[in-house]
Amino acid sequence: MSTDLRSNFLRTQIQSDLDSGTVTNVVTRFPPEPNGFLHIGHAKSITVNFGLAEQFGGVCNLRFDDTNPEKESQIFIDAIRQDVQWLGYQWHGDVRYASSYFQQFYDWAHHLIEEGLAYVCDLSADQARETRGSLTAPGTNSPFRDRSIEENRTLFTAMRDGEFEDGSRVLRAKIDMASPNINMRDPILYRIRALPHHQTGDDWPIYPTYDFAHGQEDAIEGVSHSICTLEFEDHRPLYDWFIEHLPVPSKPRQFEFARLNLNYTVTSKRKLKGLVDDGSVAGWDDPRMPTIAGLRRRGYPAAAIRHFCEEVGTSRSDGVVDVAMLESAVRNELNQKAPRAMAVIDPLKVVIDNFEGSETLELANHPSEASMGTRSVNFSKEIWIEREDFREEANKKFKRLVLGKRVRLRGAYVIEAERCEKDDAGEVIAVHACLVPQQLGEDPDDGVKPKGVIHWVATDTAVVAEIREYDRLFADADPAKADDFASVLNPNSLVVKQAYAEASLVAADNESSFQFERLGYFVADRVDHTSEHLVFNKIIGLRDSWGSHG
RNA sequence: UGGGGCGUCGCCAAGCGGCAAGGCAGCGGGUUUUGAUCCCGCCAUUCGGAGGUUCGAAUCCUCCCGCCCCAGCCA
């Protein structure tokens, strides 16, 4: 993780806290709710929290904020743990759960009751909303606001003992129904929900709200900097209120940053779930999904995602990052790390008339990284080339194979096209060419260099591979704005093709990525690829300053 | 019309009173057995606007404009 660290307000804040002695040990946490898969926005939060801890010699916890069992499940917990580790981070100690602090929260709720700072309210959800006031009008006090401490104690205990129906009562903090900050208008601390919890089973019929739990979770874990996104800014006064009025073991502080938005991408758990549920994609890990699992299956390297997050920076201003920036980070990583190989997706046969038999060539796996070694590639009389790399005639800008002209076969020989065969429809079905007098690896003996280089695969040893060409899921830059996804989905986000690949690729491990020369980066599918049935996902194309067609 | 935030190049983003970093995108050019990579160059006399303070302001003050968030017993 060697990207240069640029200045941002969080790093400045922590440095100053350390300098002033306000904080001696930096502790952060990544606190997902296990109700869905993590996406690129969470990756940002993960790199921010783990990155800050790493930079300042602190630690970062992974804590499941599981205060609402309704939509949570163990499935998501397992997936999230895996995603965080895949991204390259290891949390400090054991995984934490807000639910493991439920007894403490309950005791603290009683503490507030004893202090006269919390009360049981019998208002229905509708009534509570009506008395909360509006953005411009103050709320009115609940008729239950002045219950005695004893009555509150009895009632809250009864809530905990499961004596009331779901939703019939709540515990609220007694703060200020006229506060201009709606979060301070006697916020709800506990609600009754007779639901089994994935961690605590049937232990609790009541569950604490986010507001009553989060800051205390931080305090219990000694979190020094509780970092969240901007929409929680209005909750900070409440966060601080609990820390101030409860006998918590430490005093964490909350800081907010702008969440990551990407164009052509949707980053909302609800919307992503919608895509999965309506079958627009094959699942949470569909290679077109901006989930960590999807990006992984697509072949985006973890390091690229980390670098991207660093390059994007962390600030407090809302913005939309161009997805091209992510793609650039992916190309940058893959260019350095992916071994090269050759495959032909839209094949056209070339017969080299003056060459007999076959020959084994040793090709470099990387053009500038010799340590990546070489591989054996078979060359033979008949080869496949890309159909678009041949033209009967073309202008000088076309640097590929043209009748009567030369082209270099990558890593092999220079050939010259002599004639082509066509079918009844006039379609070219084969090109006849000849090897120009030359030494392998040298320019032709007559000194006439070819203008271009094309990739190829020997027909006799080529292996068939399924190619899944992925493109962005949405055709609209701001898909979240659309009324229905169907209208903005890119109809060509997945095109399945078949390719002839060089034989060395049968040895490709799942999740190993390659640059298929001149085509782009591809990864052996994590799930479906086997040595008997090769499946490569297109990760991203090469940058192309010429256009895919002339 | 209440409260909380944010406005620096097409997109991100440094900058915190001393005279506008960097990345992405784009545009030129060079190298090249990937039209890739790599390399070189160009790309904000200007920081939402208007006033003011100051020798000096993107940075301080005032007013104005624009955008985002908040009325779940979600997080």
List, in order of start, the domains of chain A with CATH numbers: 9-257 (3.40.50.620), 261-337+463-550 (1.10.1160.10), 341-458 (2.40.240.10)
- Of the candidates A67, A113, A72, A73, the one whose C-alpha atom is nearest the C-alpha of residue A212 is A67
Question: By C-alpha distance, which of A308, A297, A224, A296 is closest to A1?
Answer: A308
- Give the strand order in the sheet containing A170-173: A118-121, A170-173, A188-192, A206-208
Judge whether A259 counts as a catalytic residue.
Answer: yes
Chain mean pLDDT for chain A: 96
Query: CA-CA distances (angstroms) from residue A233 to A21, A209, A491?
Result: 25, 17, 39
State residue A549's pLDDT score: 43
DSSP annotation of A403 reads B
pLDDT at A210: 98
Tell me the CA–C1' distance in angstroms for A235 and B3: 12
Tokens for A417, please give them. Answer: 């096209």
- Binned at pLDDT 50, 70 and 90, residue A483 comes out as confident
The answer to whether A12 touches A265, Cβ cutoff 8 Å, is no
Do residues A234 and A36 lie in contact, with contact meaning Cβ atoms separated by under 8 Å?
no
State the pLDDT at residue A548. 46
Give the pLDDT score at A4: 65
Residue of A132, A160, A269, A538 with catalytic role: A269
Residue A318 backbone dihedrals phi, psi, to 5 degrees: -65, 145
A541 touches strand B (CB under 7 A): no
Structure tokens at A510: 């799942």
Confidence of residue A550 (pLDDT cuts 50, 70, 90): very low
Whole-angstrom Cα distance, residue A249 to residue A91? Answer: 21
Q: What does the block give as tokens for A303?
A: 């390091």
Tell me the C-alpha distance between A46 and A49, whole Å: 5
**CA of A71: nucleotide with nearest C1':** B74
- Examine the pLDDT at A1 and tell me if it is beyond 70: no
> Measured between alpha carbons, how far is A514 from A530 in angstroms, rounded to an integer?
16
Across residues A402-406, what is the average pLDDT? 96
pLDDT recorded at residue A3: 47
pLDDT 10s digits, A322-360: 999 999 999 999 999 999 999 999 999 999 999 998 899
Cβ neighbours of residue A518 closer than 8 Å, sequence gap 6 or more: A386, A410, A454, A455, A542
Q: Nearest nucleotide, C1' to the C-alpha of A398?
A: B35
pLDDT of residue A482: 86
How do strand A382-386 and strand A390-391 relate by DSSP bridges?
Answer: unpaired
A97 beta carbon < 7 A from strand B? no
Nucleotides on strand B lying under 7 Å from protein C-beta: 1-8, 10-16, 21-25, 27, 33-38, 67-75
**pLDDT surpassing 90 at residue A546:** no
d(CA A180, CA A185): 8
Residues A292-331: tens digit of each pLDDT: 999 999 999 999 999 999 999 999 999 999 999 999 999 9
Once rounded to an integer, what is the mean pLDDT over residues A471-475? 96
Q: Give the whole-angstrom CA distance, residue A234 versus residue A516.
A: 50
What percent of chain A is modeled with pLDDT above 90? 95
Q: Which ipTM value was assigned to this complex?
A: 0.97
Encoding tokens for residue A285?
A: 């890990």
User: Annotated catalytic, A269?
Assistant: yes
pTM beyond 0.90, yes or no: yes
Strand B proximity: list residues 124-163 of A with CB under 7 Å. 124-125, 128-129, 132, 134-136
pLDDT of residue A272: 95
The torsion defined by the Cα of A262, A268, A273 and A274, in degrees rounded to 10, comes to: -80
